[in-house]
Amino acid sequence: MARTWQRWVPAVAVPAVIAAAVVGGAVSTASADLPEKTPQEVLALAAGADVSAYSGDVEQTSDLGLPDVSGLSSGGSGSSGSRSGSDGDQTAADALELLTADHSARVYVDGDAVRIQVLDKLAERDVVASPEGLWLYDSKDASAVHVTRGDGAAPDGSTTPETQTLSPAEVAQRFLDSVGPSTEVSLGPDASVAGRDAYDLVLTPRGDDTLVGSVSIAVDAQTGLPLRVQVLATGASDPAFEVGFTSISYDTPSADLFTFAPPAGTDVTEKDASDWAGDHGDGAGPADASHPKPTVTGEGWSSVVSIPTGQAGVGDLTSSPLFSQLATKVDGGYALQTTLMTALITDDGRVLVGAVPLASLQSAAAQ
């Protein structure tokens, strides 16, 4: 499947690995009886998947050791656009809601065209990406961002903005791309996910310097498309994060689904590709003084991403009373710790994130 939208990660579509992503506690996990394959053969099956079009219902559940802050988001629902509280409070609430709350979504993919409809309580968020551009819509405050291609290429050299989908296939690809010497690959029991027989590919870090215990990827036995991803923390028996289809169709979605017209009364912000990179500092384009490029230290599961001082949004987040309730003062700054990931915001404004213990981030910050 073509994946030309992966470096652009707008906040409304954070898979997290953040991100962001959508996970499924209601995903069927019945067993299946499939022809025997080796782990390497299942890896090859997933790598060779040639599925350019599909659609399905996706669900997310997270148990990261953080309280559910979905009720603390100050925006409410509806289209009134009224938001109480500071911008920092809203930034923190929106970010943490993606990490702690369950989500349901409908995903449509046809080549380079993607539509994700995230269904919130009494509200809806839409991400519509195509070679013509990108729409981000939030019915909660009746707002939309329209990112157009502009006259030239996007900062990474492509001709269209990119965004990470909430499809389990895209989440799985992030893990599959990182398989290397630091990962042990094995197979679990065959499974049935969304009515499809699947092999259970298990990725286990070889070292003990990561919070991730294992990653389980259900691979469609016929198409090779990943249908579900489960991430377990070290020492845990239940997933801390899970994303999967509850239903899936390999029929080509209607082309009408990949066009978007904002409802009447929507506050639309127009941007082009270069504007978007400048606002978000995603590292796809050249670094400059106001938007320095993130760096990665370490390898494999113990990698640490460091965002230098001056990244937009850090001040809003750290000034939020909500953030101060969840973060802990530590040597050198503030730490936000979950069962799978740790974030350190240093006293000089840097942000370090990794699936590692806090000590690893403090060590990286001191270098």
What DSSP string describes 185-204?
EEEEEEEEETTEEEEEEEEE
State the pLDDT confidence band at 154, using cuts at 50, 70 and 90: very low
- The confidence score (pLDDT) of residue 233 equals 95
- The confidence score (pLDDT) of residue 153 equals 44
Q: Can you give the C-alpha Rg of the chain in angstroms?
A: 20
Collect all residues with Cβ–Cβ distance below 8 Å to 64 and sequence separation of at least 6: 99, 100, 240, 241, 338, 339, 340, 341
- The confidence score (pLDDT) of residue 84 equals 42
- The confidence score (pLDDT) of residue 110 equals 94
Collect all residues with Cβ–Cβ distance below 8 Å to 310 and sequence separation of at least 6: 289, 290, 291, 292, 349
What pLDDT, in 10s, does the model give residues 54-93?
Answer: 999 999 888 888 765 555 544 443 333 334 444 445 545 5
Can you tell me the distance from the alpha carbon of 343 to that of 88, in angstroms, rounded to the nearest whole number? 17
Across residues 6-26, what is the average pLDDT?
Answer: 30
Q: In what order do the strands lie in the sheet with 342-346?
A: 295-297, 304-307, 351-354, 342-346, 333-337, 328-330
* HEC-encoded secondary structure of 28-51: CCECCCCCCCCHHHHHHHHHCCCC
- pTM of the predicted model as reported, rounded to 2 decimal places: 0.77
Residue 149: is its pLDDT beyond 50?
Answer: yes
Q: According to the per-residue pLDDT averaged within each range, which of 97-106, 253-262, 301-310, 342-351 is highest?
A: 253-262
What pLDDT, in 10s, does the model give residues 224-281?
Answer: 999 999 999 999 999 999 999 999 999 999 999 999 999 999 999 998 766 555 444 4
State the pLDDT confidence band at 21, using cuts at 50, 70 and 90: very low
Residue 152: is its pLDDT beyond 60?
Answer: no
What's the whole-number average pLDDT of the chain? 76
Helix, strand and coil percent figures for the chain, each rounded to 5: 20, 35, 45
Ordered by where they begin, the domains of the chain are: 11-258 (2.50.20.10), 291-366 (3.30.310)
State the pLDDT confidence band at 40, using cuts at 50, 70 and 90: very high
State the pLDDT confidence band at 133, using cuts at 50, 70 and 90: confident
State the pLDDT confidence band at 150, using cuts at 50, 70 and 90: low
C-alpha torsion sign, points 55, 56, 62, 68:
positive
What pLDDT, in 10s, does the model give residues 317-335?
Answer: 666 666 777 788 999 888 9
Which position has the higher pLDDT, 53 or 148? 53
How many Cβ atoms sit within 10 Å of the Cβ of residue 60?
Answer: 26
Residue 134 tokens, joined? 């990108």
Among 143-147, 189-193, 207-211, 313-317, the least confident range? 313-317
- The confidence score (pLDDT) of residue 142 equals 93
How many Cβ atoms sit within 10 Å of the Cβ of residue 73?
Answer: 22
What one-letter code names the amino acid at 346?
A: T
Collect all residues with Cβ–Cβ distance below 8 Å to 361 and sequence separation of at least 6: 304, 335, 342, 343, 344, 352, 353, 354
- The confidence score (pLDDT) of residue 285 equals 43
Among 64-78, 103-117, 162-176, the least confident range? 64-78
Collect all residues with Cβ–Cβ distance below 8 Å to 319 and sequence separation of at least 6: 86, 88
Residue 94: is its pLDDT beyond 50?
Answer: yes
- The confidence score (pLDDT) of residue 297 equals 87
Can you tell me the distance from the alpha carbon of 8 to that of 179, in angstroms, rounded to the nearest whole number? 22
Going by C-alpha positions, the residue among 122, 193, 118, 119 that lies closest to residue 163 is: 118
Residue 273 tokens, joined? 């590709």
Going by C-alpha positions, the residue among 254, 205, 199 that lies closest to residue 227 is: 199
Across residues 345-353, what is the average pLDDT?
Answer: 88
- The confidence score (pLDDT) of residue 315 equals 59
SS3 at position 104:
strand
